[in-house]
Amino acid sequence: MKSAAALLASLLFCAVASAQDLATCTSPTGHAYYPNKGLVKKKDSGWSVDKISGGIVTLKKLSAKEFDILWVDTTKSIHSAVQDGGLVRLLRTGESDMTFLVFYPGQTIELYTFMQETVMCPH
């Protein structure tokens, strides 16, 4: 059992190591919606600005049609949408942007849009 776990860990490492970084964002911001359900009280429900100060989000291409979104949060821990049970799907691509859906069955739906920044050089 121990050797099977070690083999699985090495295969996961190899898959991540061979992945291609497509985009990295630092201190990402966005919006989150919290429904008035469960532990969320009515006064705390609705839309709010959501950000990870000092955090990092990376879009990885695992294969021709497989992607993962990794992030480092304020605890300095690395998280993977795929390893957390999320299904990452490309929704659309534009000239300088890509939008992905991350679906955690029975839990959460997230949308990520990565936009390429244009760097202006002084003349």
pLDDT 10s digits, 44-82: 999 988 877 778 899 999 998 999 999 987 788 899 999
Whether this prediction's pTM lies above 0.75 is answered by no
Q: How many CB atoms lie within 10 A of CB 36?
A: 11
Does the pLDDT at position 6 exceed 80?
no
Confidence label for 18 from pLDDT (cuts 50, 70 and 90): low
Closest to 96 in 3D by CA, of 120, 113, 121, 111: 113
Length of the chain: 123
Q: Which one is predicted more confidently, 17 or 6? A: 17
Does the pLDDT at position 21 exceed 50?
yes
Q: Which one is predicted more confidently, 13 or 68? A: 68
Question: For the chain, percent helix, then strand, then coil, each to nearest 5?
Answer: 15, 45, 40
Q: What does each C-alpha distance from 97 to 47, 101, 114, 118 come to in angstroms?
A: 24, 14, 5, 12
Closest to 113 in 3D by CA, of 121, 102, 122, 123: 102
Does the pLDDT at position 104 exceed 90?
yes
The CA distance from 101 to 87, in Å, is: 8
